[in-house]
Structure 1
């Protein structure tokens, strides 16, 4: 009889497996394209600036101190670190699903069943001991250990855990990506601040020159060599430059506050270099080869890990079509009276059961979850390919930007030199009444604009170096 039950159970399990295997959809794996161009141009030099640590890449000690402070206090970075903790806890959750669930249980109760029921009639005709029937109100005392466990025969739970591990590692790379962005933003803001300092110094010096020219015009007006109109024009130009001075001071204040915000602190003066930004030289950059981006860029590595997790999700969702094997067991003591609680073996309870569960009808939920997992996997593939493409484009754009900015800076430098000479010439001609005052005004105005544009181009050069360092994946290591 026992063997016959085993045969029936085995036959039922075989039927379930056969039905499941006939209807389980095939795994759909979309392969991502990891091919990138061999180089950014004709160079195949593998020397890569992105592998340099930020403490070695940036040489300004004040900038280093700002970055170091931000890495310890920036709120966005701290939020990302908590996301790491959340992802780590998800791994623990998936790991716990692989282990048996064991609980201890203790209880006490009382039950009174109807006399004219099968249980009541049985109890009434039963004696606990000779001459002592079962009481109508029957107490129940219990203490025991219960356990359940799902056997991971299709690797469903293991794949779910591996997916959680990949997502945790992706979050780590996400944290690294936040680091690269934060360092780049602080460096760019710092160079913005130095640029504004230099422009403010230029404007103040220009105001001094304009005041000197105004005094000359006033003297010539007294000598009837120019009219009141010339004096008014020069005074208006001085007022315009003073207004520009306050605009720059406001921008300096806002930039300082922006840096303080990135550092996670309230507004305070930013300690910075007093050097003229025009004298600063951009660092030399080596881009290496495009394939290095796959290993250097945190966002690419994060996208790759998310893709790996999505593929594991598809496998876990597919395993839902197969039967699940659950095992439950219990052992303990149970009696209706404390006097019999420790009477062995009569008070001992135990159980052991196995359940093979296979969905046969209305499997739309499983199908929908499997289709969703496939769609998310496809999304992850496209996201990975887009991230790689975006990384290549960012590096290519910054390479072109650095090259064009250097040419622009060289031309603007010559322009500033020529306009400085023009100021001297126009002032000399004006004193000897050989040039009109408007020529002096226009020359000073053009020179001021050219100097401001020159410092702005220098800032763009420094920013381009920072941006390509970020684009190459530098800053997180």
Structure 2
């Protein structure tokens, strides 16, 4: 038996030395700069964790700070961190020696065939402990996997925080746009009603047809529907913003501001290689990959023999009062090795290795997706900036046309119909400028989000096998 145990141990040691380390992560061939970086970069404006301050809006700052304090999704993410911490504590505790205490006392009555009864008493008290020696690193690997899982949960909280702050800003911008567009819609309705009155008078005089009258009435109905639709959208946006802030929608009223006065910052995107340490979702994917690598190590180590050490000490007596007890001390060690398990452990290793490869490809895809998101955000930011400048020129020209038509109308050279059409064109151009302002704010906001919002990770490739 001694020779058998020695042979099993040596075989395990030799096999353990032959275990290969997890495959290296793929080299990411990253460009030295973004395609559109020169068109949008502002070297004086760098990413900061409180990125919303760059919009120079006190109401926006208050909304985001309230959301970070009261949002329910963020609180749930915090609870998941506590759960992961507790799970890691369980993993660590399971690798340490445990101490158990036991005590017993009893009376035994025995009836013989001769009708005689015998009675005996007994009592005992003892302590026992056991410990598994981590010969092959399985326990350490399980602890490393737990630590990586905790890190992934923390990074998930940061991702939730970034997404939350961006959603609050985007919802507020949308609410401001709808509020401003309602003013334009009310003017459209008033203009349509004035034009309807003009056509009704012309119809009474016989200079307008029934079709002209019906057409203008349909315009009034259309403008009324448009105003109601904008009011409905604004209410829904307000309710969505209240949910992000953790408030009841019935008691919530978003702060007002002039959408045109909000100045979207044009931030410096940095380098593509910096993105790996800026986005918490990439750090989360990486931590999951580290946990998978540790699980492979644990699965491989489970194939080898396990060494268990145990000790117990007890006091036993033939009386209930532990009088004149007998002292016992046991020290044991045992080696357990699975001989035949129908390939269960082998398949567990295959599952762990396949899971690691899946996460490896998922991480690679996440990096490529992040690079694409930044390029798209840079393109959208530049496009919206150019479109807004063009629309500003269009509004300027339309104002000149409207001003000229108003003077001609006052002089009797143009009709009211022409004046209303000129004013309608002006308000349509200004309404489009408002929408472009909101789109540009969202483009700048989205660029902050895809760049990580100023979040930084000191060391992406953290070695989770190090001692805590």
- TM-score tier after normalising by the smaller chain length: 0.7 to 0.9
1:328 aligned onto 2:310: yes
Equivalent-residue separation in structure 2 for 1:62 and 1:431 (angstroms): 46
1:126 aligns to what?
A: none
Equivalent residues in 2 for 1:4-403 (5 A)? 9=2, 11-20=3-12, 26-27=19-20, 29-35=22-28, 36-41=30-35, 49-54=46-51, 56-110=53-107, 136-217=118-199, 226=208, 230=212, 232-267=214-249, 268-275=251-258, 277-338=259-320, 341-343=322-324, 347-362=326-341, 364-403=343-382
Equivalent-residue separation in structure 1 for 2:162 and 2:284 (angstroms): 14
Structure 1: tracts of 5 or more residues without a match: 1-7, 117-134
Equivalent-residue separation in structure 2 for 1:181 and 1:475 (angstroms): 13
The structure with the largest alpha-carbon Rg is 1
Where 1:283 maps in the other structure, the secondary structure is coil
Aligned residues: 446
Deviation, 1:352, is 0.9
**Greater CA drift, 380-389 or 409-418:** 409-418
Equivalent-residue separation in structure 2 for 1:78 and 1:460 (angstroms): 30
Equivalent-residue separation in structure 1 for 2:424 and 2:92 (angstroms): 71
Deviation, 1:301, is 1.0
Change (3 A) 1:240 1:272: same
Indicate conservation of the 8 Å contact 1:202/1:448, yes or no: yes
* Residues 359-402 of structure 1: per-residue CA shift (max 9 Å, x gap): 12226221122111111111221121122111111111000011
* Residues 237-264 of structure 1: per-residue CA shift (max 9 Å, x gap): 3332232111111111111001001111
Indicate conservation of the 8 Å contact 1:49/1:469, yes or no: no
Equivalent-residue separation in structure 2 for 1:222 and 1:92 (angstroms): 87
* Residues 133-180 of structure 1: per-residue CA shift (max 9 Å, x gap): xx9544331111111111112221112112111111111110000000
Equivalent-residue separation in structure 2 for 1:424 and 1:231 (angstroms): 28
Indicate conservation of the 8 Å contact 1:27/1:318, yes or no: no
Deviation, 1:286, is 0.9
Structure 2: tracts of 5 or more residues without a match: 457-468
Q: Please report the TM-score for the alignment, with normalisation by the length of structure 1.
A: 0.84
Where 1:308 maps in the other structure, the secondary structure is helix
Q: Please report the TM-score for the alignment, with normalisation by the length of structure 2.
A: 0.85
Where 2:186 maps in the other structure, the secondary structure is helix
Where 2:47 maps in the other structure, the secondary structure is helix
RMSD: 3.1
